[in-house]
Amino acid sequence: MTQQNTSSVDNRPKNYVGSSLLFFSIFFTATIEATILFSLFWTPFPIRYKLGKFWCQLMLWIMKITVGLKYEVEGLENVNPNQPAIIFSNHQSAWETLALRYILPMQSAVIKKELLYLPLWGWSLLLLKSIVIDKRNPRGALKSLVKDGTKYLNEGIWVLIFPEGTRAGARDVLPFNVGGSVLAHKSGYPIIPVVHNAGDFWPRYSFFKYAGTIKVKIGTPIHTQGRKAADINAEAEAWIRKTMSEM
């Protein structure tokens, strides 16, 4: 008999004002940013990317002001901006989708096809060279990931992947999908593992955000040349699980 996952109720005081201000800040500024970005579709990619990165920086600042949510990063010495890599991060929140774009070098994020249906927002994601996959077609999704991911890596653009495929609960790590490791195996580019505890302060599916300091740890590169995808995946998942348990 399968045991049900019963998470405890969060009894922390609810910050209604701060959480509301953050929500509306994200909504309105994202709409403005997407509109500007879409109007600048003709500009070189680095210019469009800098606009998106600035918005992420602005959101991190607004989080600090409205709800007292800060962050600290350990392991930046493991990041070589001149060596493109594949970022493997655990996925607990919406926070890391913003923060990692600001903290780490220029990158292409893997996104699901449904996001493209969002007017302006979805269209602007294409202008940031996102890798679009259709989760209903696993074979086609893997093909797109390898094809577009290798192309961007060869252009010097990093690739951000959440190998769990969906958001996990705080402190949880879900089994890894193998797609990112197949990309690493075929392209030969290293993996940079990243772990964070954003779910403790910005829980998945929760309107409320809580004051505190999110910890981000960046691991040493995982070399992938000449290795099987399954072995690469196992090493990355083991590091993220171990590091998460130590936070």
pLDDT of residue 5: 43
Is residue 4 pLDDT above 50, yes or no?
no
pLDDT of residue 119: 80
Is residue 118 pLDDT above 90, yes or no?
no
How is the chain split among helix, strand and coil, in percent rounded to 5?
50, 15, 35
Report pLDDT digits (tens) over 194-229.
999 999 999 998 999 999 999 999 999 999 999 999
**Sequence letter at residue 148:** D
Report pLDDT digits (tens) over 164-199.
999 999 989 999 999 999 999 999 999 999 999 999
Average pLDDT over residues 125-137: 92
* Mean pLDDT score of the chain: 93
Q: CA angle, corner 208, sides to 10 and 170, nearest 5?
A: 55
Could you tell me if residue 34 is inside a domain? yes
Is residue 9 pLDDT above 80, yes or no?
no
Could you tell me if residue 21 is inside a domain? yes
Task: Please give the Cα distance from 246 to 100 (Å, whole number).
Answer: 21
- Give the percent of the chain with pLDDT over 90: 83
Could you tell me if residue 180 is inside a domain? yes
Could you tell me if residue 4 is inside a domain? no
Average pLDDT over residues 234-240: 98
Task: Please give the Cα distance from 84 to 159 (Å, whole number).
Answer: 8
pLDDT of residue 172: 94
pLDDT of residue 8: 61
Could you tell me if residue 209 is inside a domain? yes
* Model pTM score: 0.92
Could you tell me if residue 1 is inside a domain? no
Is residue 38 pLDDT above 90, yes or no?
no
**Is the separation of the CB atoms in 92 and 164 below 8 Å?**
no
Task: Report the domain count for the chain.
Answer: 1
Could you tell me if residue 97 is inside a domain? yes
- Give the percent of the chain with pLDDT over 70: 97
Domain interval for residue 33: 16-246
State the greatest distance between any 2 C-alpha atoms of the chain, in Å, as a whole number. Answer: 57
**Is the separation of the CB atoms in 195 and 89 below 8 Å?**
yes
pLDDT of residue 144: 95
Measure Cα distances from 17 to 67, 207, 210, 231 in Å: 9, 11, 12, 47
pLDDT of residue 116: 87
**What letters, b where the CB count within 10 A reaches 16 and e where it falls short, cover 108-135?**
bbbbeeeeeeeebbbbbbebbbbbbbee
**Which CATH number covers residue 125?**
3.40.1130
Question: Which among 208, 202, 205, 206 is positioned nearest to 60, based on CA atoms?
Answer: 202
Could you tell me if residue 166 is inside a domain? yes
Report pLDDT digits (tens) over 76-99.
999 999 999 999 999 999 999 999
